[in-house]
Amino acid sequence: MAIRILMVSPLSIDLRQARAWRKFLGLFLAVCLWSSSMAFGGEISRKVLLRDITQIQGVRDNQLVGYGLVIGLSRTGDTQQTFFTVQTLANSLQRMGVQIAPGVVVVKNVAAVFVTATLPAFARPGMTVDVTVSSVGDAKSIEGGVLLLTSLRGTDGQVYAEAQGPLVIGGYSEGAAGNVKTVNHPTVARIAQGATVERDVAVDLSRFRTVSLLLRNSDFTAARDAADVINKEFTKTIATAVDSRRIDVNVADSGALSVPVLISRIQNLAISFQSPAKVIVNERTGTIVMGGDVKLSPVSVIHGSLTIDVRTAQIVSQPAPFSNGTTQTITETKISVNDPPAKSIQMEEGANVDELIKGLHTIGATSHDIIAILQAIKAAGGLQAELEVI
């Protein structure tokens, strides 16, 4: 047997160690870079642009409403009982030189409707906006109808747009003699670009001396952070947090070429925004929505149910054959009580509402039970968040 002896020099050992250390350092740096990227990404994910959480005071939409007629229906319009439809039709024909008596008009292809629209900020004459048409009578469907020229007015009574055109409906109603199939709402329709703006409602931004940003959600910290990031961007104090919702920006001190340029620059700034600790519950539907980092103080919840079932039965008692007795009806009442042992869960310090709800589900609590338990925990001071019941 031949024995081979491999001699390893100190230099080869150093080279191998160097390669191993090089691999270890490379892996370590990769892990560090990945961790830092995750931390950086998490920080970016918590950043929100000011344009997403604020609006400009004085720059807003306006609601418009009008009353009109939809014609061309296939005998699915308002019936004779809806008298204002016939009066409106008679008035429209009278303006066109046709004199009729409303009491003798019988039509089923006309429906009275309300027309609503949203007039956007900086709307100019000639622009078009979408409108929603809704029946106000007893029409079965307004499918296939055409809206006659209808004036849309604002809260000041002025006409801001005129609407007209064929309806687009997302439902239908078919059938007769009580056997009717209805899908969605056949009495509500839309007209895309169906209204034309007739009055200029644009805001003159050149007259703004102060641009006021309004937070959609009131928050003192967000207002302070927004003012700080604006001042840092312009390297001078031009923004001031007035309260928990409003931040005033001085236009003259900003040095911006125009107000739109200033607003654009401000809206693209980002701040760290934390959602408020809030729990919203809907008792009608059993819906629970949690926002922010909702925490609980140490609590112990005991939940049990007592069920009492009372049943009454009528028993007929008949006499024996060839006896002188009479048939009698006897009422028998049975009471059953089901009182299972109460189930309990315990939550430690720092637990959140999500963990509480999961624990309540494990003991068989329903959505309405959970809502009642949350209200009781809030009353006991164990819920460190705002609880809103809608």
Residue 294 backbone phi and psi in degrees, to 5: -85, 125
- 364-372 contacts: CB < 8 A, separation 24 or more? 365/303, 366/286, 367/286, 367/287, 367/288, 368/283, 368/286, 369/303, 370/288, 371/281, 371/283, 371/286, 371/288
Measure the CA–CA gap between 341 and 137, rounded to whole angstroms: 57
List 153's β-bridge partners, or say none. Answer: 65, 159
pLDDT tens, residue by residue, 98-114:
887 777 777 889 999 99
DSSP per residue over 179-241, as a string?
A: EEEEES-TTEEEEEEEEEE-S-----GGG-SEEEEEESS--HHHHHHHHHHHHHHHTS--EEE
pTM value? Answer: 0.65
pLDDT tens, residue by residue, 141-186:
898 899 999 999 999 999 999 999 999 987 666 655 555 666 667 8
pLDDT the model gives residue 388 = 82
pLDDT tens, residue by residue, 202-236:
888 888 999 999 999 888 999 999 999 999 999 99
Measure the CA–CA gap between 43 and 322, rounded to whole angstroms: 96
What SS3 class is residue 73?
coil
pLDDT tens, residue by residue, 318-341:
666 766 667 776 666 666 656 666
C-alpha dist (Å) from residue 211 to 15, 231, 339 = 67, 14, 65
C-alpha dist (Å) from residue 267 to 225, 232, 332 = 14, 14, 76
Contacts of 152 (CB under 8 A, 6+ apart): 64, 65, 66, 115, 117, 131, 159, 160, 161, 162, 163, 195
pLDDT tens, residue by residue, 267-319:
999 998 877 778 888 877 778 787 666 777 776 777 666 554 556 566 666 66
**Predicted confidence band at 3 (pLDDT cuts at 50, 70, 90)?**
very low
Query: What is the domain partition of the chain in residue ranges?
Result: 62-172+185-197, 205-272, 279-308+337-389
| Summary mean pLDDT of the chain | 78
